[in-house]
Amino acid sequence: MAKKLDKVDVVVVGMGWAGGIVAAEMAKAGKKTVGLEKGEHIKREDYIGVKDELRFDNQFQIMQELKKDTVTSRNELDETALPIRTRKKMQIGANLGGASVHWAGATYRYWPYEFEIRSKTIERYGEDKIPEDMNLQDWGITYEEMEPYYEKWEYTAGISGEQDPNAPKRNKPWPNPPLKESPSLKLFKDACKELGHKPFQVAAGNMSQNYENPDGEKLNACMYCSFCTRHGCDFSAKSDPLATVIPTALKHDNFELRTRANVRRVLYDKDTKKATGVLYVDENTGEEYEQPAEVVVLAAFAFTNNRLLMLSEIGEQYDPETRKGIIGRNFNGQYNNAFAGVKGFFDNKKFNLYAGAGAMGAAITDFAADNFDHTDLDFIGGGAIELRQYGFAAISSSNNIKEGTPSWGADYKKESLNYAYRALQIWYTNNTMSYWHNYTDLDPTYKDEYGDPLLRVTYKFGSGTKEIMEFGVEKCREIMEKMGADYIKEDSIPEEFDHEFSGGHYTGGVVMGDDPETSAVNNYLQMWDVDNLFVVGGSAFPQFGGHHPTPTIGALSYRASEGVEKYLKDKKQLVKAKTKTTNA
């Protein structure tokens, strides 16, 4: 029998960027708030002395263990999905701070076109431009409405940036100047300019200088140590929740953080259509607790937000056969079918690639969103072309070998040593669209350690998926040729999604919009069917933009926080639905 605790104003499930922002904003507003985090209570100092490529880049020790809790994956509706059990294939952030702790820091806003992608595509090209298998829909919010939330997140995070010449004008400058320009980045920029493009320094969640954010949290200038992606920063030089919003929340007595708190259900009253709290297991003791709350905020990773709603029987499960239902619809991702590009090998140039930072890079957005004419192209959308200087260590730099080089022996050693710092990678971070056949539901076979069904992902490529990747590879090759590479190796385009969930860029399933027939939450991320339940994070994305998701998750989290405050005051739906039909 679960022990019932005292009721609070807000309970937040998951303490990454999304949950950390909501918790901090609720704490600052004086609301009694509890934050529940499944993982360990990791602090900044726990990452001191862990600059270890083998442990974190190859063995993924900062990621969730998948033996007890994972997802199952399949391509076709009639296949049996199988569990993903190795962290090489799926990297989900574990512990306090979540995936935000190991992110690289690349910061882009989504484009006005992307928030109104269906409307603007039809306006420019006609409805026939949208393939029949694509579930293309507007977000229910505009870029102009999102702009102040982007700005708030960027100043909380202390982003180091340079204005993209193609992007809408900012109301305020970036909080910090851009990171350093290395010779490799300058070579990329010069080549892009010669081709008529407009390069700029990638905005970074890596501090270019010491910084104090509006909440009084202090971050330190980046040392370009190279241990950003898949690593926790031991120097508070990377924008993440451990350096920003979680310390802000913990300064307030009305906020309580509970770690190793594994939430298994949202408690839901079907008669009143209200969430009454959550049920969780204290994994230190094995005891179950019921935490009542006036408002429940699910702010976990997209997989978890989807699964908790399904396990709690909240909302109508999407059915691909009838194409009806909401929960699980428009699942999407940006890894297996994005980041294709080229690697260039230079015989007479050497770059100091051992130094770097997660978002130390240069980019162009001439081929992002609808910044170029798609009339004669067989895809819609686009993305940034990037060159990054992450900082290569011994293991990763040994992979810089030409095609045809043996994978071991004297020739391998000779080539890997020669090209360790003479190879540069460029890639295209393209949009990935949503399709009727891609969705999530509960697996009928596989269960977790508590006997609950795992989340099942059904995902395959749709119309335009390979075409946009091929386009990106071609553009990357043009730039690399202009950079003067002596040999260029193109990334191969996969034939089909191969169940590689690496990278963590997965979204959808609880999507936002203005129509309850095609969306689960409104533009405050408040559920249409359960007005005191907010589902915050990447699960709200109707499609995946052509850039990295973290800034948009951060901006939407500030928008949702505002919505929670409004709800606590007025106790009603915050947005008028486009239609009167709702899902039971």
β-strand partners of 324 = 319
The strand pair at 287-298 and 274-282 is best described as antiparallel
Lookup: tokens for 376: 């004669």
3-state secondary structure of 31: coil
Q: In this structure, what is the dihedral angle of CA atoms 552, 558, 559, 562, given to the nearest 10 degrees?
A: 180
The strand pair at 106-107 and 203-204 is best described as antiparallel
CA atoms within 13 A on the CB side of 315: 35
Query: What amino acid occupies position 535?
Result: V
Residue 372 contacts by C-beta under 8 Å, 6 or more apart in sequence? 366, 382
The whole-angstrom separation of Cα 273 and Cα 264 is 19
Nearest in space to 275 (alpha carbons), one of 527, 23, 482: 527
Where would I find the H helices in 342-409? Answer: 394-397
Give the DSSP letter string of 367-384.
Answer: TSTTSS--TTSS----EE
197 is catalytic: no
Assess contact for 131 and 464: CB atoms under 8 A: yes
The whole-angstrom separation of Cα 99 and Cα 89 is 15
Assess contact for 363 and 375: CB atoms under 8 A: no
Candidate list 102, 231, 499, 505, residue with the active-site label = 505
Residue 286 contacts by C-beta under 8 Å, 6 or more apart in sequence? none
- Burial level of 344, CB count in 10 A (0-12/13-18/19+)? buried
Lookup: tokens for 353: 């690639």
Lookup: tokens for 533: 């339940």
β-strand partners of 64 = none
Where would I find the H helices in 56-142? Answer: 112-115, 117-125
For 22-102, where are the E strands, in sequence order?
Answer: 33-37, 71-74, 82-83
Catalytically annotated residues: 505
